[in-house]
Amino acid sequence: MRRKLLALAATAIAVPSVIFAAVHSAGAASGSQQASKIPADKQAADAAHEAYLANARAQYAGVQPPSPGPLPTSCPYLLPNDLANTVQPFNSANSNEIADALEIDTSAEALVMKSGYTFRVLAGTSDGGAGAVLITGDPIDPCAHPDQNHLSRLITIAKTTHLRVSQVAQGLVDVTDQAGLQHTVDPATGDAH
Amino acid sequence: MGASRAVAGACVVTLVSLSTVGLPMTPANAAPPHYSHTWYVTNPDAVPALGASDALYNNQFCATAMVILDWGQLNRHSTDTDTQYDHYGMDDFAGGAPFVAMNIVADRSTKYIEQWEANATCGSLDLVVGTNNSAPECPTSPCNIYYYGENLALAISNMTNWMSSHGYLNNPYFLDLAGGSDIEGDGLPYWDTAANSRQAVDGYNTSWDSVGARFVDYGDPFTSQYFASGDQYYVNWQATHDWPLPQDYGSGFYPAYDSLDQNNGDDWEFLGALSQCGGADPLPTGTYCLDALGHNTYTPTTAFNNIANTAPNLQTEMSYSPNIKNQ
């Protein structure tokens, strides 16, 4: 409906009587429908919005939308290839740099890699002390990983419960709480045991 | 977003007068439009790809499609790097409800439109960038819900200006952009109070600039001790930029909307009806389908027809039949 009327609107810029006749005709065809009671402030707001759109269309009439390019084949969480199968030193001096490179989160008590399960991340200490990040496995596209949502949930759980995720492995995640107790988290449910 | 708005353009004066005399654009008893895809966002980075696939889907029907991208519960992370929108954003629907900053919401939503435009061959897109009133609002950092509404309006304004300057408004397959919210009236503990919910609406309405986009309420019609009939009226219709796109999931919904309308001005105009069938396309066309939890819920056809028959002689804006599910 609107699609058709848009085309009419373009015509109406030059010949207003045409669109009036078209709309009037559509209304007449609907028979006995009552008058709309749309409040005046809504009508005015809509008119102002339509005026904005019309002005924008006129102002940029010759502008063609750019090609959006190909769809992204990865997401920002993808591990850079050249960092795979390496051990990265981790300390307070370079933690942010490594975190940026790996797209990992060091903003809370947890150090969790936002990546696929084929990576293993050994967390540094939560207070920024020395540690190591061990990266193994092949990079995968975590956006296409079916458990991506569970990883995101784990990040939140770890933040809110102050668990320190020490290892992300296939199927299960080991965590250590602030009292030093070991837990295993089921990624399917997010439950810690 | 409705039919009458599309024709305004350079003929604003003419159309205002037409609207005043009440010439309906869409007869209430017209056949329902084919349903459109609509999403609870769980993976922001995959939203652009949805724009491509949804356009290809819509090419089969050439529908005027309303697509709601519901980004989830409003929140604010004071440590987030997004200062453009004062650290406001949404917690999306993925497990753990990860935070998505407003600048990411705007960017991915814009890319959704880009991909739609690149793949559409007919029909058109009305996009709603939405949130909800889940309680507690802003669970992470202190916030002002009124400012949240302002920042959502700012994001919609920035997106619209960007689309304008890059020629998208001249693309025949893109119609409009609006803010919105799934505002539920059931109240605490799961849904926020009317006072807080109205703050977001007020922030959006008060801050609107020359863009002046609509605000689509796609919540439920229910009232509670936390949400009176007058509050539903306010967030659905009374606030200047607010328009209702009613949920219609079962037998209790459209009578409730009818009651709200009758008791609050009797002048509501609905934009369409929201359904929530789960499963793959094509969705059933009978009375019921199954939602994501396996419960009976109205099909898009039933949902649309019910709402169209609520105060039917007023429904000149009934145009949309979005069906929402998890991304």
Q: Are residues A86 and A168 in the same domain?
A: yes
Closest CB to B95 among A20, A75, A150:
A150
d(CA A77, CA A113): 8
Q: Which residues of A touch B240 (CB under 8 A)?
A: 41-42, 45
B207-213 average pLDDT score: 79
Mean pLDDT of chain B: 86
Residue A168 inside a domain? The answer is yes
* pLDDT of A17 higher than 80: no
Q: Which residues of B touch A37 (CB under 8 A)?
A: 22, 265-267, 314
Angle at the Cα of B285 (from B282 to B291), degrees rounded to 5? Answer: 70
Q: Are residues A20 and A103 in the same domain?
A: no
Q: Are residues A28 and A113 in the same domain?
A: no
Place of tokens 């409906």: A1
* pLDDT of B152 higher than 50: yes
* pLDDT of A152 higher than 90: no
In chain B, domain spans: 3-326
Is A33 close to B24, i.e. CB distance below 8 A?
A: yes
Closest CB to A153 among B3, B96, B319:
B96
Closest residue, chain A, to B112 (C-alpha): A68
Q: When comparing pLDDT for B68 and A176, which is higher? A: B68
d(CA A188, CA B298): 31
d(CA B248, CA B256): 10
Cβ neighbors of A74 (< 8 A, separation 6 or more) are A141, A143
Closest CB to A12 among B3, B11, B313:
B11
Counting runs of H as helices and runs of E as strands, what totals does chain A give?
A: 5, 8
Domain that holds residue A17: 2-59
Is B25 close to A143, i.e. CB distance below 8 A?
A: no
* pLDDT of B171 higher than 80: yes
Helix (H, G, I), strand (E, B) or coil at B307: helix
Residue A65 inside a domain? The answer is no
Does pTM surpass 0.80? no
Amino acid at B317: E
pLDDT, residue B170, reads: 86
Q: Which two tokens stand for residue B143?
A: 């916030």
Is B117 close to A67, i.e. CB distance below 8 A?
A: no
**CA atoms in the 13 A half-sphere facing the CB of B184:** 16
Q: When comparing pLDDT for B98 and A14, which is higher? A: B98
Backbone angles phi, psi at B129, to 5 degrees: -100, 115
Residue A74 inside a domain? The answer is no
Helix (H, G, I), strand (E, B) or coil at A177: coil
Amino acid at A69: G
Q: Are residues A12 and A88 in the same domain?
A: no
Is A148 close to B43, i.e. CB distance below 8 A?
A: yes
Nearest-CA distance A159 → chain B (Å): 11
Chain B interface mutation, best of A4, A15, A42, highest count of B Cβ atoms under 10 Å? A42
Amino acid at B11: C
Is B97 close to A33, i.e. CB distance below 8 A?
A: no
Closest CB to A35 among B22, B97, B175:
B22
Classify strands B36-40 and B64-76 as parallel, antiparallel or unpaired: parallel
Question: Could you write out the DSSP letters of every residue in B222-245?
Answer: --BTTB-HHHHHIIIIISTTEEE-
d(CA A47, CA A41): 10
Question: What count of other Cβ atoms lies within 10 Å of the Cβ of residue B41?
Answer: 26
Q: Are residues A129 and A170 in the same domain?
A: yes
Q: At what angle do helices A2-14 and A16-29 cross, to 10 degrees?
A: 150
CATH of domain B3-326: 3.20.20
d(CA B136, CA B191): 7
Is A33 close to B313, i.e. CB distance below 8 A?
A: yes
Contact B233, B282 (CB under 8 A): no
d(CA B90, CA B23): 39
Chain B interface mutation, best of A2, A8, A24, A43, highest count of B Cβ atoms under 10 Å? A2
Classify strands B88-91 and B288-290 as parallel, antiparallel or unpaired: unpaired
* pLDDT of B209 higher than 90: no
Q: Are residues A52 and A87 in the same domain?
A: no
* pLDDT of B247 higher than 80: yes
A133-153 average pLDDT score: 37
Q: Which two tokens stand for residue A73?
A: 């084949």
Q: Which two tokens stand for residue B99?
A: 């935070």
* pLDDT of B191 higher than 60: yes
Helix (H, G, I), strand (E, B) or coil at A19: helix
Closest CB to A153 among B95, B118, B212:
B95
Confidence of residue B225 (pLDDT cuts 50, 70, 90): very high
Is A47 close to B168, i.e. CB distance below 8 A?
A: no
* pLDDT of B21 higher than 80: no
Place of tokens 């001005």: B265
pLDDT tens, A63-112? Answer: 888 887 766 543 333 333 333 333 333 343 444 444 444 444 443 323 33
pLDDT, residue B26, reads: 42
Q: When comparing pLDDT for B183 and B10, which is higher? A: B183
Question: What count of other Cβ atoms lies within 10 Å of the Cβ of residue B222?
Answer: 17
Q: Are residues A30 and A116 in the same domain?
A: no
d(CA A98, CA A93): 10
